[in-house]
Amino acid sequence: MGLRLISRARSRHLGVAAAIMSTALLAACGGSSPDISVTGAQVPVPPNPDVAAMYFVIDNDGGADVLTGVEADGTGVASMHRSFVNGDGSGGMEAVEEIEIGEKSSVEFRSGGYHVMIDDPGELVAGDTVTVTLSFQQSEPITVEADVVESLEEDPHGH
Ligand SMILES: [Cu+2]
């Protein structure tokens, strides 16, 4: 009888310790805020002047976040798109409302994948810049200046 009481008391004590530990772990994970940077932004001179595509890389050194919107500063209407290829080889693109940016991860906006589409960007020549502001669920908005280039560099990360 006496033994049983002791063991029950001890296991309850361990339970409390475990609960405290898991709370601490949760705080460590859930509490880490995103640390987002955007690099390598480029806009190839569009073959069709009515619409331009913008490519870049989002790096996140912190907790998860979600890209929730894009806005072109000055001219044009920007939206997020994803290119896809079907099983039969046909392809297309679709608008994307949100893009998840995982904890400590990168999301590449590149030819054949995610891109920002700018409708009616005005006349663009190599050497111009296009400014787009990215909005996030957690992070403050980030304004990105993209270089207008003759053609896309192979590795927009630059290394
Ligand atoms: Cu598109």
Task: Write down the pLDDT at residue 159.
Answer: 42
Backbone φ and ψ for 8, nearest 5 degrees, come out as -65, -40
Task: Kindly give, in sequence order, each residue whose CB lies less than 8 Å from that of residue 74, ignoring residues fewer than 6 positions away.
Answer: 131
Q: What is the DSSP letter of 90?
A: -
36-149 CATH choice from 1.10.167.10, 3.40.50.970, 2.60.40.1890, 3.40.30.10: 2.60.40.1890
Reply yes or no on whether the pLDDT at 74 is more than 80.
no
Task: Mean pLDDT check: name the lowest of 12-16, 31-35, 129-133.
Answer: 12-16
Give the C-alpha separation, 108 to 138, whole Å.
19
Sign of CA dihedral 12, 14, 19, 20: positive
Quote the ligand 1 centre to 1 CA distance (angstroms).
Answer: 73
Reply yes or no on whether the pLDDT at 55 is more than 70.
yes
The answer to whether the beta carbons of residues 148 and 74 sit under 8 Å apart is no
SS3 84: strand
Quote the ligand 1 centre to 112 CA distance (angstroms).
Answer: 9
Quote the ligand 1 centre to 83 CA distance (angstroms).
Answer: 7
Quote the ligand 1 centre to 82 CA distance (angstroms).
Answer: 6
Task: For residue 146, give both structure tokens.
Answer: 């993209």
SS3 97: coil
Quote the ligand 1 centre to 88 CA distance (angstroms).
Answer: 20
Confidence of residue 158 (pLDDT cuts 50, 70, 90): very low
Confidence of residue 128 (pLDDT cuts 50, 70, 90): very high
Task: Mean pLDDT check: name the lowest of 13-27, 89-103, 144-158.
Answer: 13-27
Quote the ligand 1 centre to 4 CA distance (angstroms).
Answer: 68
The mean pLDDT of 19-30, rounded to a whole number, is 53
**pLDDT above 70 as % of the chain:** 77
SS3 21: helix
Reply yes or no on whether the pLDDT at 142 is more than 70.
yes
Reply yes or no on whether the pLDDT at 111 is more than 70.
yes
The mean pLDDT of 64-74, rounded to a whole number, is 94
Task: Kindly give, in sequence order, each residue whose CB lies less than 8 Å from that of residue 75, ignoring residues fewer than 6 positions away.
Answer: 120, 121, 122
Quote the ligand 1 centre to 110 CA distance (angstroms).
Answer: 11
Tell me the pTM.
0.76
Quote the ligand 1 centre to 111 CA distance (angstroms).
Answer: 10
Give the C-alpha separation, 32 to 30, whole Å.
6
Higher pLDDT, 9 or 159: 9
Average pLDDT, the chain: 85
The answer to whether the beta carbons of residues 134 and 144 sit under 8 Å apart is yes
